[in-house]
Each structure stands twice: as C-alpha cells, then as structure tokens.
Structure 1
Amino acid sequence: MSFTKHSSCTTVLVGKAASFDGSTIIARNEDAGGSVNPKRFEVVQPDDQPRDYVAKESGFKITLPDNPLRYTSTPDAADDGVWGEAGVNSKNIAMSATETITTNPRVLGADPLVADGVGEEDLLTVTLPYISSAREGVLRVGEILENHGTYESNGIIFSDKDEVWYMETAGGHHWVAQRVPDDAFVIAPNQTGIQEVDFADKDNFMYSADLKKFAENHNLNLGTGFNFREIFGSHSQLDHHYNTPRAWFAQRYLNPELVEGKGPMSDDLDFICHAPRKITIEDIKYILGSHYQDTQYDPFGKDAMEPTKFRPIGINRNQELSIIQIRPNVPDSIAAIQWLALATNPFNTLVPFFTNVNNTPAYFRDTTTTASTSSAYWTNRIISVIAADHYQSLIADIEDYQEKTLGYGHHRVETISSSSMTDSSMVTQELTNENQATADHIENATNELLTKLVTKAAGEVKGAFSHDLY
C-alpha cells in the first residue's frame, strides 16, 4: 500500500522566557498530501544508525560520521524512506524537520533546486545524531546544503535547554537561521518567515557565507535593508488562502493586538512575536488543532459563512504532532519530553514521553500499514473520521477526553520528575518503564472514547431506523 507524500505543516516556537515553566519549546504538525500516512514513534540506537545513507525519494547519498548519538524519531510506517520528522538525541538536543516553505521564481532561477539533494525524508537522520547544541544543528545542515543542495524549500528547527533556532533554505544551496528571542514566539505556516537579517549579530543570526552577495549579484533585493522574507519568499494567491490565515489565527489567539487591523490574508504579519502571558503546552495543542473556531471560516461551525475559504491548521491531513520541551531546573536525565499526538489534531490528545529511553511503547511504535486498534495512529485516525462527520454531537465527548488525558499527562510529568530518579545508570530503564505505563493508560482511555463515539454515531448514520417511529 502506498501513501501520499508529505506536503505541509505548521510550526510553533517558544523561547524559554515566554514559556510557562522556563522550557524551550518547539512544535510542528507533520501533514501529508493525503489523509492517511501512518506514523510510528521509535528510539534509534547508535548501532542501528546507517553509515552510508541513501534516500529513497531523491537518491541523495551521504557518508555519515562515526559515533552517532541515540535519538527518538517519528518515521513513516511504510517502507518509503525514513521521514524521521522530530526527535531528541541523548544530549537533549531537539530537532524538527521540515516546515515546507515557499520561494519565488527569481530565486529558483539564480540557484535552482537540486533533484538529488537533501530533503525532508533525510534531514533528521543525517543531522540529529551528530550535534551537541542547537547551533551545531544549524551549522551541520548548512554545510550539507552548501555541499549537496536541497530539492525543496524548507524551515528546520533546533532547540536545546537555552536556545531555539529556526533555519530557512533559499534556492538549492542558500540559507539563513535566526535565534528566537527568549521572550518571543514564532508561528510558521509553510511560508518564508524570517524578516530583517542583521549580518553583524553573530549571536542571533547565521547564514550561508555568500548570502548577501548572492542577492546582490542576482538583483533579488528590491527594497532596503535585508528582509529575507521579502527577498526570498512569495506572496501568491495560494499563500493568502493556504498559509497566512494560519499565522493570523494563531497570533490572534496568543495576542490579539498583533493582528489588530490585519486580516487573514495580510502580507505583513510579524515573524518574531510576543504574548502578554506565558505560553503553555495546551496553548500550542489548541493552535495546532485549530480550525478557525469562533470565526466564519470554521468548517465545523454551525453558522459558518465561508468554511472552505482558508486552509485550517487542524486538518484531516495531520499525521503527527511533536511538542518538544527541554526543561530547566531538573536533572539532564529527565529534562527532555516529547509530547506526541498522532493523526488529526482536533480530535486526538497529547502524550508526554521522556526521551532518555531505550525503547518506546508498542502502541505507538509498531504501527502497521493496515488499520488496527492496537495502534495509536490508527485508533486516532478512525476517531477522526467518525468525529468529522458527527462533529456537533461528539465534540463534547472528545474535549472531555482531551482535558482528562492532558491532565493525566501533566500529572505523570510531575510525578516522574519528583521521584527518586537521579543521573544513575538506572534512569534510562526506569523512564522506559514509566513511558510504558503512560501509554497503557492512554490506550485504555482512547479505546473507551472510540467505543463511545461509535455507539453514538451509529444512531445518526443515514438509513438509521427506529421502531419508535411507528
């Protein structure tokens, strides 16, 4: 069985002073071109990491360094390449790749994409096991881009306990990266986002060596300063209906003043943003499962006037969401948590998994390419299909499930973090066991929800018949 390839995502980044507990937080929906692309959650041990890597999608080849680190990954269940997407290595460095972005024809004419270059299928696998900081991640990908090129335009995310970096490619070989300020957040919706680049500020910007000269030589900069979005991005009709409305809604949720006087198709939404309060895990989940609630654009709204005008964030093509939290003021051995949700985000829940582990629970790991309720991905996919067609009658049950399971997840984090675990050799196995207990609880709760939804929806299907009518 084949599945449609990955195509679009939405990213949320939060600096440590902007988050609720001082964590750095990176998050990204992985969306696919079709509704179904089964995902799984695994740990890649150093012995299982390839040395001579070859991509199935593009044929990209690279010899990888020795001594890779252990890391988590959320690859495809199908044998169509890795598509590792998001994870954390054993040094608590997180990565998510990629946010597919847009560029313009003049850039592609000056620096064409490379058919056998690196891309989304490869980036996590060839980067995350070899870096010791978020900055190192940027530099490693930058070197690969300059030497091998890329076949697509991408946004790539890195974080450690102190910093969050967002990196964007331009053409086949050029790139820029910006450090997200500690007190800021970023929403990135499939568009080039980075704005003014300060070439003198080495603490907060990195870029390909000839980036400025490249823009000058090819007459790409039509304005003053060096606005990366304006030079290398796009403002197409597709952007106005597919991309910018998502940033508008997310910014509106976190800080309505940011979009005051601006509409969903605005071309001048800020990249670096600030909120009047701290940002929580629940805020990010709400954003990444949102569908223009309380607006005329909500496809599930009772009184929606234009429900298909703009592409929502929470959509049937969501496959996997990782919210990666690197926490301060706790031992390094328990600092990193990968909050995971599978399938369609308006209807699923987040599950917190500590990443300093040897293995992942089978319910999340052993996803098959055929539907099965023994799989977290497929159970949530089935729930989403039922819920989408019976939204008004089932959403209260789903929201109750989400509230209870998120509360359970936070309680698990608190309980495990306050236990007697230290930086001993036993921590990794103990956390592996704790993750299994968390998964068992979520599996039971999700099966209970599925049973409830099927029971209710069965009475609402077309052709339903009741003796009470006669």
Structure 2
Amino acid sequence: MRQSKHSSCTTILVGKDASYDGSTIIARNEDAGVAVNPKKFVVVQPTQQPKHYQSKLTEFSIKLPDHPSRYTAVPDATSEKGIWGEAGVNANNVAMSATETITTNPRVLGADPFVKNGLGEEDLLTITLPYIESARQGVKRVGSLLTKYGTYEANGIIFSDVNEIWYLETAGGHHWAAQRIPDNAYVIAPNQTGIQEIDFADSAHFMYSSDLREFVTKNHLNLSDHFNFREIFGSDTQLDHHYNTPRAWYGQRYFNPEATNELTPMSANLPFICHANRKITLEDLKFVLSSHYQDTPYDPFKPGVDFKKVPFRPIGFNRNQELSMIQLRPYVPSRYSAIQWLAFAANPFNELVPFFTNVEETPVGYRNTTKIVDSQNAYWVNRLISLVAADHYHEIMEKVEAYQEKLMAYGHQRVAHVDQKVAELSATKLSTALQAANEKTANHAIKMTRKLLTTILTETSNGVAGSFDRAHY
C-alpha cells in the first residue's frame, strides 16, 4: 500500500437546510505528512489544462476530454512531486475537494488489491473538476475512473453544487460507493470509512459500483445481515481509536452535546449522518477544524500537559497546510454565488479569507508561493505565526483570537460589499470586478496577518532561552 503524503485530513460537510444561510458548504483541512508543505491558490484556465495527464507519483496516465472548464485549485507550491490540486470550484459552480484519506481492511484488499499505478489524491482534482457540470456528475466520472484504472489508496472524495453534496468512498482497488448528504444533515469524516447503510433501491441518494453487492457476497465480506459499507469495507483498529474516531467525537460533541454524553473519543459506533441542534455557521466549521480538544484532558496546549504524550490526534495541528471551505450560495445570482474561503498553515492560529471564484486569476499574495520563506506571502506569513504561537500559546492566544475575530468580520463585510457592488454589472465586467475585489481582500488580510506576526515576534523574543538580564547578577 502506498501512503499518500497528504494522508491525514479532516472533512466537514453541511447540507443546505443545515447551514445558516441555505448554502451547501464543504470544508476540508489538507494535512501533510510534514509540518511545512507550501501551498498556493490558483485559477487553471482551459488553455493550461493538459490534454494528456501524467502522474508524478506513479505511472498512471490518461487522455483527458476536450473543452475543460476554468477552475480554482490549491496545489503544491511546486509541481516536481505532482499537482495535488486539493479543492476548487469550476466555471459551472461545481465544487470538489479531494481527498479525505480513509481506511480499509486486509480482507477487502485481499479480494480487490490496490493498483500500483492507479490514480490517487495527486491526480483526482485535475482529471475530474474541469469536466463536470453537477455534483452527481462528479461522482459518476470518478466512479468510472476507479472502475477502469483502479486506485493505489483509500480515499473519500467530495462534490457539491448549489443543491447537493455527494461523498464518494473507495473500497479496495476498484470498488466504491457514494451517498448524497441529506439537506438537513452534517457529516464529519476523520480519515475513516464513514458511509453506513446503503439503500440500493434509492438512486436519488446512493450510487455505487455496478457489482458491489456481488463482490461482497462472492468474497464473504459481509459479517452481518444488513449492508453497512463502513463495517464491510472500513476498519476498527487501535490506530482508528487514537488517530481517527476522537476527531469525529469532538466535532459531534460540539454540534450535538446532548446526543454524545454516552460516547467517548474511542467509540467505534459514531454516526456518519448527523443532525445539529442549530443551524451551522462558517465560524462553527472553523472552530471544529481548528480544534485541539479544548476543555478536555486531551488538549496538548493545556498547562502541564506534555504534548508528546496526549493520546489523541487533534484536528487543528502543525501539519495543517490549507483549509478550503467552499460555500455555494442560493440567494445571489450564480455568476458570483461561489466563494472559496481559504486559510493557510496551522488552523488554531489562522483565519479564513473569502475569494469569489468566477475570476481569471487569484491574488498575487496567494498564488506566488514558492519553497522560499516570504513574509509577504499568505502561506508563509501564517506558517511563521503558527511556529511562534505553538511555543508561546498562552502568552499570545488572546492577540491571535482578536486577530481572527477581526479578520473574519472583515471577510463577511467584504462579501456583502462585493455582492452589492457587482449586482448590476454585465458579464464582461463582472469577472474583472471580482478579481479586483479579491486582490483588495487578500492585500488587507496579508497586511493584518503581517501585523500580528510583528506583534507576537516582538512580545515573545524578550524571554527566549539565551537572553541575559544584567540586573540579576
């Protein structure tokens, strides 16, 4: 089994009737295997899209369809190890986030082994998002690719449009299933197979490999009298109990404290489809995707706790690289309804910034990331803050939280302001106006973030090891 270098993400999906404003919202932390893996935010034009795609990680290659759509993406800063496009919105206002690395079990892999030169996270956004016109169509395209080429890893793949959210999970090398998230529900996916009961008679809410039932029966994979995808294709291991399920437990505890009193971080029976006790906001999602078990004994930042000995993997931690929260709004014209809220580096210390996706180019400070540290760049200034903040958490978090509240308020203000300004613009002028608005938003966000970096560097530098105060001698 090849392990993806982006192998520890956390996903939250919110149906349109569960969100605060009627939007579909998909959000996913991209977490790398190392703390520093620079990312950039770009627009890929049809002329930039390859006609023939070749993976860098494997020998997988594919001829791509003609007439791709323009789309946004959050690829690695440099492409020598592949694109890793991760999350974006295309010109049809269809969003995709790929992938949530998930788990499986040896019996499944014995029956349908991973494919050495199949497709994987590195490839999926690039070979899918430019060619789909709905979330449902995204499921069908990826499903057909999995059936034909296979995959070398287990993944969860998210699609959304203004009406629907679909979550697809792979099963072995070639099999898969997908569920439409109910409009009034939310889902937290923490690197584990999540889909539970499949209703094979309900094509409105489930899609799957054409031979899925036959495959399970032939290989004696189902240990019960019902078809629970998680139980058949997933895992329940010690790693799950410490690395995966605690994240779902904490998120569900936040949204449904009344329903999780009897559950623990190691509970193996957490539900996939959940219903919050209130409407869910962007701020709720950011809190959970930044969380580190606050107000529990498992918080690595709790005074007196040795962070190397905490038993459970947090959601917000040093290996977060980017968070894309894609909001598709039903109450404004479709030509400016899609917003990709973006945050770079470790989520406990960053904040979301909104970008309209119907543009020809992204802001300079977000698209020009290189592997060289640059405090003018959005990824790097946030990475520098996260490094200082983690070692001085209790000294500077009050200032970080004030910055986060102020920047998020600014983001909401910008969205409302831009909505109003572009409402009457013609199609030819709209994209230019949105692009200029994004640039202004980005410049302000980077300026605020650099100011925070200056403040915390100034305040924490005086007491570092090696300092000397002559008055003490």
Q: TM-score range by the shorter chain?
A: over 0.9
Rounded to whole Å, the distance in 2 between the matches of 1:26 and 1:469 is 55
Q: Structure 1: which 5+ residue stretches go unaligned? A: none
Aligned to 1:441: 444
Aligned to 1:88: 89
SS in 2 for 1:122: helix
Preserved CA contact (<8 Å) 1:296 1:303: no
Shift of 1:419: 2.0
Rounded to whole Å, the distance in 2 between the matches of 1:241 and 1:74 is 29
Preserved CA contact (<8 Å) 1:296 1:305: no
Shift of 1:465: 2.1
Shift of 1:175: 0.3
Aligned to 1:76: 76
Aligned positions of 1:395-434 closer than 5 A: 395-422=397-424, 424-434=427-437
Aligned to 2:180: 179
The letter for the 2-side match of 1:241 is H
1:196 and 2:200 correspond = no
Rounded to whole Å, the distance in 2 between the matches of 1:281 and 1:235 is 31
The letter for the 2-side match of 1:181 is P
1:252-293 deviation line (CA, Å, top 9, x unaligned): 011112322010000000000001100000111111110000
Rounded to whole Å, the distance in 1 between the matches of 2:468 and 2:453 is 22
Rounded to whole Å, the distance in 2 between the matches of 1:420 and 1:78 is 34
Shift of 1:59: 1.8
Rounded to whole Å, the distance in 2 between the matches of 1:55 and 1:151 is 12
Preserved CA contact (<8 Å) 1:299 1:308: yes
Rounded to whole Å, the distance in 2 between the matches of 1:355 and 1:114 is 35
Rounded to whole Å, the distance in 2 between the matches of 1:51 and 1:238 is 40
Q: Structure 2: which 5+ residue stretches go unaligned? A: none
Shift of 1:418: 1.8
Preserved CA contact (<8 Å) 1:16 1:162: yes
Aligned to 1:377: 379
Preserved CA contact (<8 Å) 2:422 2:430: no
Aligned to 1:162: 163
Aligned to 1:32: 32
Rounded to whole Å, the distance in 1 between the matches of 2:267 and 2:306 is 20
TM value normalised by structure 1 = 0.98
Residues paired across the two proteins, number:
467
1:422-464 deviation line (CA, Å, top 9, x unaligned): 4522111100000000001001101100000100110121122
1:58-97 deviation line (CA, Å, top 9, x unaligned): 1211100000000000000122110000000001000000
The letter for the 1-side match of 2:366 is F
Preserved CA contact (<8 Å) 1:74 1:83: yes
Match of 2:457 among 432, 454, 458: 454
Rounded to whole Å, the distance in 2 between the matches of 1:304 and 1:336 is 42
Preserved CA contact (<8 Å) 1:134 1:160: yes
Shift of 1:467: 3.9
SS in 1 for 2:8: strand
Aligned to 1:130: 131
Aligned positions of 1:65-464 closer than 5 A: 65-79=65-79, 80-304=81-305, 308-422=310-424, 424-464=427-467
Preserved CA contact (<8 Å) 1:297 1:305: no
Aligned to 2:15: 15
Rounded to whole Å, the distance in 1 between the matches of 2:196 and 2:318 is 31
Rounded to whole Å, the distance in 1 between the matches of 2:184 and 2:195 is 17
Rounded to whole Å, the distance in 2 between the matches of 1:466 and 1:400 is 31
Shift of 1:354: 0.4
Shift of 1:372: 1.1
Rounded to whole Å, the distance in 2 between the matches of 1:361 and 1:78 is 17
1:193-217 deviation line (CA, Å, top 9, x unaligned): 0000000000000000000110000
1:299-334 deviation line (CA, Å, top 9, x unaligned): 001254885200000011000100000001100011
* Cα-Cα RMSD: 1.1
Rounded to whole Å, the distance in 2 between the matches of 1:67 and 1:346 is 40
Preserved CA contact (<8 Å) 1:119 1:152: yes
The letter for the 2-side match of 1:60 is F
Preserved CA contact (<8 Å) 2:422 2:433: no
Instruction: Give the % identical residues.
Output: 61
The letter for the 2-side match of 1:387 is A
Rounded to whole Å, the distance in 2 between the matches of 1:224 and 1:11 is 30
Rounded to whole Å, the distance in 2 between the matches of 1:281 and 1:465 is 45
Preserved CA contact (<8 Å) 2:103 2:192: yes
